[in-house]
């Protein structure tokens, strides 16, 4: 049983606030982090709603202003669960105040903001203060297993990547105009919201960078009814983005992020082919990893359906017996667990803000290319390896 706990202050109480609350709580209930989290303070402008979350998940206190939270001496980590346009200001203030930071993805709405955040994280790092960005899908056990195997070289040199994040909630042309469909709030549409995840996953899994892209984006329905019911408003973000990418090791990658993939609700699909094998994943069957070992005899080769629920699999030892699958929210517990251990051991948690900035640069290049006839657009600062 650890001694002093890590006191968490969380900003935000909506979808991500709930997921993070469950993550912190279960890290302690099911696992043995080197330092235990304490759900100290939840912060939200609507203190009634924040209070309701506190009551349901056992947060100790509620405050209304994030500046107040950041100023407190008794908080060790700020967990940022607000929309993207607020990330930079809160994160930089928190890091400068000596708080560790977990910031939801995408890191920011612009490259400039993300750069400032990465700089703040560098400054903080020198003082033993850590920043990380919440690309939570890395912690789905099947994906963590895929990463481990890719890094061990099991698929050899990567030749092809297919990455898709498919949703369909905008297929209906009568779906109302929400803040997510306005550029000033959301930065971009499907691209930043879900495309960011698959860019991060591809770079994380392969250990390579996307060195350039050729892209198209589209807004299929350009006017939508206002939520007020009073007329129509303009959609100012993308409904879908498709792009080609080159990885630093020479592989060809295709990416697709869309809210118009009729019948697909949250299908994150990853498929990687290398010289020694292949891996495939679909979040619609999230406890399964498919692995092809190309070194097997031809008559015996085939994609193997691995049910990732064995105690030998990443994160599984803390949960249930084999065959008792996990769900969406468990990745938030794994994120909390990894972060707590990194802080306890005084090492940089992954992914760093610099990695988050790297994703942001790909998102930016996609928009540049899409606006310029799909012209090939290199990613500044990306590592270019040998083919």
Alpha carbons within 13 angstroms on the beta-carbon side of residue 361 total 20
Q: Which of 43, 201, 261, 365 binds its own copies (CB under 8 A)?
A: 261
Write the binding mask 363 to 382 for its own copies: x where contact by CB under 8 A, - elsewhere: ----------xxxx------
Binding of residue 73 to its own copies (CB under 8 A) = no
Cβ-based nearer residue to its own copies, 265 or 347: 265
Cβ-based nearer residue to its own copies, 258 or 360: 258
Strand partners, 257: 165, 241
Binding of residue 312 to its own copies (CB under 8 A) = yes
The residue range among 59-67, 81-89, 175-183, 303-311 that interacts with its own copies, by the rule CB under 8 A, is 303-311
**Using an 8 Å Cβ cutoff, are 366 and 191 in contact?**
yes
Tokens of 332: 């938030």
Residues in CB range of 25: below 8 A, 6 or more apart: 39, 57, 58
Cβ-based nearer residue to its own copies, 25 or 99: 25
Q: Which of 46, 223, 227, 275 binds its own copies (CB under 8 A)?
A: 275
Residues in CB range of 355: below 8 A, 6 or more apart: 133, 200, 203, 204
The owner of tokens 């030892």 is 317
Binding of residue 196 to its own copies (CB under 8 A) = no
Q: Which of 6, 202, 286, 340 binds its own copies (CB under 8 A)?
A: 286
Q: How far is the CB of 303 from its own copies (least distance, A)?
A: 5
**Using an 8 Å Cβ cutoff, are 215 and 190 in contact?**
no
Q: Which of 278, 349, 356, 358 binds its own copies (CB under 8 A)?
A: 278
CA angle 100, 95, 83 (to 5 degrees): 85
Binding of residue 226 to its own copies (CB under 8 A) = no
Instruction: Report which secondary-structure segment, H or E, holds 332.
Output: helix 330-344
Binding of residue 109 to its own copies (CB under 8 A) = no
Chain positions 165 to 184 lying near its own copies, rule: CB under 8 A, are 167-169, 171, 173
Q: How far is the CB of 311 from its own copies (least distance, A)?
A: 8
Helix pair angle (141-151, 330-344), 10° resolution? 50
The residue range among 94-102, 120-128, 325-333, 357-365 that interacts with its own copies, by the rule CB under 8 A, is 325-333
**Using an 8 Å Cβ cutoff, are 54 and 83 in contact?**
no
Q: How far is the CB of 159 from its own copies (least distance, A)?
A: 4
Nearest CA among 208, 210, 19, 174 for reference residue 105: 19
The residue range among 60-68, 128-136, 266-274, 356-364 that interacts with its own copies, by the rule CB under 8 A, is 266-274
Binding of residue 124 to its own copies (CB under 8 A) = no
Binding of residue 223 to its own copies (CB under 8 A) = no
The residue range among 72-80, 93-101, 215-223, 344-352 that interacts with its own copies, by the rule CB under 8 A, is 215-223
Entry field: residues in the chain: 387
Tell me the CA distances in angstroms from 230 to 178, 225, 233, one per residue in order: 14, 7, 9
How large is the C-alpha radius of gyration of the chain? 21
Rounded CA separation 202/314 (Å): 19
Nearest CA among 377, 24, 61 for reference residue 213: 377
Cβ-based nearer residue to its own copies, 230 or 312: 312
Q: Which of 3, 229, 231, 327 binds its own copies (CB under 8 A)?
A: 327
- Residue 242 sits at φ, ψ, to 5 deg, of -125, 140
**Using an 8 Å Cβ cutoff, are 33 and 27 in contact?**
yes
Binding of residue 65 to its own copies (CB under 8 A) = no
Q: How many residues bind its own copies (CB under 8 A)?
A: 93
- If phi over 0 gives left and psi between -120 and 50 gives alpha, with beta otherwise, what is residue 153? left
Cβ-based nearer residue to its own copies, 212 or 358: 212
The residue range among 16-24, 101-109, 229-237, 333-341 that interacts with its own copies, by the rule CB under 8 A, is 16-24
Cβ-based nearer residue to its own copies, 98 or 250: 250
Q: How far is the CB of 241 from its own copies (least distance, A)?
A: 9
Write the binding mask 39 to 58 for its own copies: x where contact by CB under 8 A, - elsewhere: ----------------xxxx
Nearest CA among 188, 49, 164 for reference residue 105: 188
């Amino acid at each position: 049983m650890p001694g002093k706990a890590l006191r968490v202050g969380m900003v935000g109480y909506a979808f991500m606030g709930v997921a993070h609350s469950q993550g912190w709580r279960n890290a302690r209930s099911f696992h043995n982090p080197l330092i235990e989290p304490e759900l100290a303070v939840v912060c939200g402008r609507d203190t009634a709603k924040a209070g309701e979350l506190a009551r349901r998940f056992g947060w100790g206190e509620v405050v209304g202003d994030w500046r107040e939270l950041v100023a407190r001496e008794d908080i060790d980590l700020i967990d940022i669960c607000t929309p993207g346009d607020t990330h930079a200001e809160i994160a930089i203030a928190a890091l400068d105040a000596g708080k560790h930071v977990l910031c939801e993805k995408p890191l920011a709405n612009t490259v400039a903001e993300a750069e400032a955040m990465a700089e703040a994280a560098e400054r903080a790092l020198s003082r033993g203060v850590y920043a990380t960005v919440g690309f939570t899908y890395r912690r789905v056990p099947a994906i963590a297993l895929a990463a481990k195997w890719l890094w061990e070289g099991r698929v050899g040199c990567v030749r092809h990547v297919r990455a898709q994040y498919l949703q369909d909630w905008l297929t209906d042309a009568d779906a109302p105009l929400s803040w997510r469909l306005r550029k000033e709030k959301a930065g971009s549409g499907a691209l930043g919201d879900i495309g960011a995840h698959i860019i991060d996953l591809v770079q994380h899994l392969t250990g390579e960078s996307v060195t350039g892209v050729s892209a198209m984006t589209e807004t299929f329905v350009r006017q939508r009814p206002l939520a007020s019911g009073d007329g129509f408003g303009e959609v100012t973000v993308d409904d879908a983005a498709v792009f080609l990418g080159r990885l630093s090791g020479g592989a060809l990658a295709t990416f697709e992020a869309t809210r118009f993939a009729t019948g697909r609700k949250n299908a994150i699909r990853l498929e990687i082919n290398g010289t020694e094998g292949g891996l495939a994943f679909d979040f619609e069957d999230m406890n399964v990893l498919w692995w092809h070992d190309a070194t097997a005899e031809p008559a015996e080769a085939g994609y193997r359906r691995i049910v990732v629920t064995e105690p030998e699999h990443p994160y599984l030892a803390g949960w249930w017996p084999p065959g008792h699958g996990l769900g969406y929210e468990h990745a938030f517990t794994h994120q909390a667990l990894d972060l707590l251990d990194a802080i306890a051991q005084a090492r940089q948690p992954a992914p760093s803000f610099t990695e988050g900035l790297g994703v942001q640069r790909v998102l930016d290049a996609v928009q540049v290319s899409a606006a310029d006839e799909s012209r090939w657009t290199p990613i500044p600062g990306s590592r270019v390896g040998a083919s």
